[in-house]
C-alpha cells in the first residue's frame, strides 16, 4: 500500500449494523462455485496502516455490492452501461451512513488488486460481474488459443455435465493465464484449473469480450471445450 496516502475517514453519526453488513458484504457470484456467497473481510488490527487497509477492503466490497448487484439498496441509479455519477454515489452512500471523500474513492479504485472498477471523469462503474441488467458495450474480441478457469474439486461433476454457465451473472468469467485462474480457485479451497479451448470456441461461433481489467467474458462454455487436469 502506498505509505504516502492519508485517507479521509468520514463517518456520519456512527455506523449502524446494517451499514456494517453492507460494507462487509462481498456479494460476488461464481459460475459454479457458490453463487451469491457472502464473505466478511478479515480486518487486521493494531496499526494505523492496518486500519487504513481494512477500511479500503471494506469500501471495495461496498462498491462491488452497489455497482454490481444492489444499486437500489442505496437509491443509486446506473445507466444502461453500468455507469453511476460519482457525486450521486458519494451522496447515496453518505445518506446511508457511509461517507467517502472523492480522494478516498479514487484511492480505493487505484489500489484494488483485481482492478474491479473504472473511473471515467465524473462517473464510475464495475468492470464486470454484474447481476443487475447492464450492457457493458464491450466489442467482440479474438481470444488467445486457451483461457483458464479456476474452480474446486467439488464443482467438477456439475461442470463435466453442464460446462461453465454464468449463473446469476451475465457472462462466464475466464482468466488469461493459469496463475490468475489458480488465485480465483483458491478463494474457495484447493484450486483446480481448467483449460478452455477458446480458439475452437471462437471458430465455432462463440463470442468473447475482454473487460477493462483483463477478464475474458463469454456467454457459456460447453463441456466439449473444457480440458480437465489428469486425476492425481
Determine phi and psi for 88, rounding to 5 degrees.
-65, -40
| 36 & 111 share domain | yes
| 61 & 122 share domain | yes
Q: How far apart are CA 103 and CA 100, in angstroms?
A: 8
| 108 & 157 share domain | no
Q: Which domain holds residue 168?
A: 147-227
What is the per-residue pLDDT across 176-200, written as a single tens digit (0 to 9) for each?
A: 999 999 999 998 899 999 999 999 9
Structure letter (DSSP) for residue 140 = P
| 42 & 118 share domain | yes
Q: Which three cell numbers stand for residue 50?
A: 492496518
Report the CATH number at residue 164: 3.20.170.30
| 26 & 92 share domain | yes
Q: Which of 126, 161, 192 is where one domain is finished?
A: 126
What is the per-residue pLDDT across 51-82, written as a single tens digit (0 to 9) for each?
A: 688 899 999 999 999 999 999 999 999 999 99
Give the number of domains in the chain.
2
Q: What pTM did the predictor assign?
A: 0.62
| 115 & 208 share domain | no
Amino acid at each position: 500500500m502506498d505509505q504516502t496516502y492519508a485517507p479521509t475517514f468520514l463517518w456520519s453519526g456512527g455506523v449502524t449494523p446494517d451499514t456494517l453488513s453492507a460494507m462487509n458484504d462481498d456479494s460476488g457470484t461464481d459460475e459454479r462455485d457458490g453463487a451469491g456467497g457472502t464473505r466478511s473481510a478479515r480486518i487486521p488490527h493494531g496499526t494505523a496502516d492496518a486500519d487504513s487497509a481494512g477500511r479500503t477492503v471494506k469500501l471495495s466490497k461496498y462498491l462491488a455490492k452497489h455497482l454490481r448487484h444492489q444499486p437500489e439498496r442505496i437509491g443509486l441509479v446506473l445507466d444502461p452501461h453500468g455507469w453511476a455519477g460519482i457525486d450521486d454515489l458519494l451522496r447515496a452512500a453518505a445518506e446511508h451512513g457511509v461517507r467517502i471523500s472523492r480522494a478516498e474513492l479514487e484511492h480505493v479504485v487505484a489500489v484494488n488488486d483485481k482492478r474491479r472498477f473504472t473511473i471515467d471523469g465524473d462517473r464510475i462503474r464495475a468492470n464486470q460481474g454484474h447481476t443487475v441488467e447492464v450492457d457493458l458495450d464491450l466489442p467482440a474480441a479474438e481470444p488467445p488459443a486457451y483461457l483458464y478457469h479456476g474452480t474446486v474439486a467439488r464443482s467438477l461433476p456439475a461442470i463435466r455435465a453442464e460446462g461453465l454457465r454464468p449463473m446469476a451473472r451475465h457472462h462466464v468469467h475466464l482468466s488469461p493465464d493459469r496463475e490468475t485462474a489458480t488465485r480465483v480457485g483458491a478463494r474457495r479451497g484447493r484450486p483446480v484449473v481448467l483449460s478452455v479451448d477458446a480458439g475452437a470456441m471462437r471458430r465455432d461461433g462463440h463470442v468473447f469480450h475482454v473487460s477493462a481489467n483483463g477478464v475474458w467474458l463469454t456467454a457459456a462454455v460447453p463441456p466439449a471445450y473444457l480440458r480437465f487436469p489428469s486425476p492425481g
